[in-house]
């Protein structure tokens, strides 16, 4: 049987991994980044950098400025793996900058698709708190940067789909049971009719890795930020309920239980582990934790592992380039160490 705590919508950490709020903004005095000269890109970067670092906010001195063109490929890709920037942001790094808070909860991309992309990330489902922080940063910057705004349309953005609030609110969800049951394509089609979209782990154009999906609002025009957040929350709760029901249906399936325990064994004893295999097996293990099969392993450990084992982040943390075989060896060791530190009992009881 499923544990009772997973029937409570006040605690949805078994499904919701993280919350992200992103605002797209542009400076009124400059063309969109696609039309900016290299010189004007530098000007925009310096203006935004100064507004943040020289501002009077209590967190101004906690930001570091990163010139994207000075990063190695591994450092740049690691930012994507840690969900701090978009894949598009590192595709062309010249003239682009990043302001990153010391705890990595806030990142401000400069000269991506828009002049400014304010992003705030929180662990778990914290839509209101995350929005409030993003909104405060947005208000502080608007006072100094004079964002492009139209009384009828709202905030002006390079892509018409962002015009209006310019806000994307998203939740990172782990949906292994719905994926296993083959329901995701039908769910995606239904969500599009409700003004939401569900995508892969790294957003638009990406595939779900380890059954991790990104659910976000699609409508930004003619709707307030609060309305978009409330809609996202309501739909997320429905998905949480559907996922839990699907888990309940699979909880007595011997093939699913065998898959989970085999995955645990591989994670615990393998000496080589590719990233794709690791993501799949960690997803299975998390599935088991969500179903109450493992009592002494926590979601935070698994969430951290999912980031630390990514190829570029792994090399960044090690401090040198590694061959695929070396990465696979170190990845397996990282996973094994993290799991054994959780002190999981050697034997597990199958639910009757």
Q: Give residues with Cβ within 8 angstroms of 64, minimum separation 6.
A: 99, 100, 102
Nearest to 111 by CA among 69, 153, 57, 81: 69
**So what's the pLDDT on residue 347?**
41
Residues 245-274: tens digit of each pLDDT:
999 999 989 999 999 999 999 999 999 999
Nearest to 261 by CA among 304, 291, 241, 302: 291
Provide the 3-class DSSP secondary structure of residue 155.
Answer: strand
pLDDT given at position 87: 94
pLDDT of the residue at 276 = 96
Q: Which residue has the tokens 């991506």?
A: 112
Ranges of the chain whose pLDDT falls below 50: 1-5, 344-352
Q: Residue holding tokens 């400014």?
A: 116
pTM: 0.90
Both tokens assigned to 240: 């949480």
Give the angle subtended at the CA of 137 by the CAs of 133 and 141, to the nearest 5°: 170
Residue 202: its pLDDT value, please? 73
């Amino acid at each position: 049987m499923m544990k009772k705590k997973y029937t409570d919508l006040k605690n949805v950490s078994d499904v919701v991994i993280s919350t992200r709020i992103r605002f797209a903004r542009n400076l009124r005095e400059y063309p969109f980044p696609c039309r900016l000269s290299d010189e004007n890109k530098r000007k925009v970067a310096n203006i935004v950098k100064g507004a943040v670092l020289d501002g009077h906010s209590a967190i101004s001195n906690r930001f570091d400025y990163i010139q994207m063109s000075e990063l190695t490929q591994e450092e740049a890709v690691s930012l994507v793996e840690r969900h701090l920037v978009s894949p598009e942001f590192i595709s062309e790094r010249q003239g682009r900058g990043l302001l990153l808070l010391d705890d990595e909860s806030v990142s401000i991309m400069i000269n991506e698709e828009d002049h400014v992309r304010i992003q705030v990330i929180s662990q778990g489902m914290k839509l209101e708190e995350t929005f409030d922080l993003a909104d405060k940063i947005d208000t502080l910057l608007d006072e100094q940067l004079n964002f492009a705004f139209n009384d009828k349309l709202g905030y002006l953005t390079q892509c018409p789909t962002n015009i209006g609030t310019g806000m994307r609110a998203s939740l990172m969800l782990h949906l292994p049971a719905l994926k296993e049951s083959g329901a995701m394509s039908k769910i995606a089609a239904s969500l599009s009719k409700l003004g939401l979209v569900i995508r892969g782990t790294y957003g638009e154009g990406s595939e779900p890795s380890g059954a991790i999906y990104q659910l976000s609002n699609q409508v930004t025009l003619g709707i307030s930020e609060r309305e978009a957040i409330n809609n996202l929350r309501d739909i997320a709760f429905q998905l949480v309920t559907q996922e839990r029901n699907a888990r309940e249906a699979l909880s007595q399936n011997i093939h699913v239980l065998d898959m989970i325990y085999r995955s645990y064994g591989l994670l615990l004893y393998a000496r080589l582990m590719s990233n794709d295999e690791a993501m799949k097996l960690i997803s299975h293990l998390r599935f088991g934790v969500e179903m109450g099969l493992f009592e002494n392993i926590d979601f935070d450990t698994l969430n951290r592992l999912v980031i630390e084992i990514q190829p570029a982040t792994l090399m960044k943390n090690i401090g040198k380039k590694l061959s695929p075989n070396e990465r696979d060896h170190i990845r397996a060791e990282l996973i094994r160490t993290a799991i054994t530190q959780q002190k999981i009992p050697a034997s597990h009881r199958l639910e009757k």
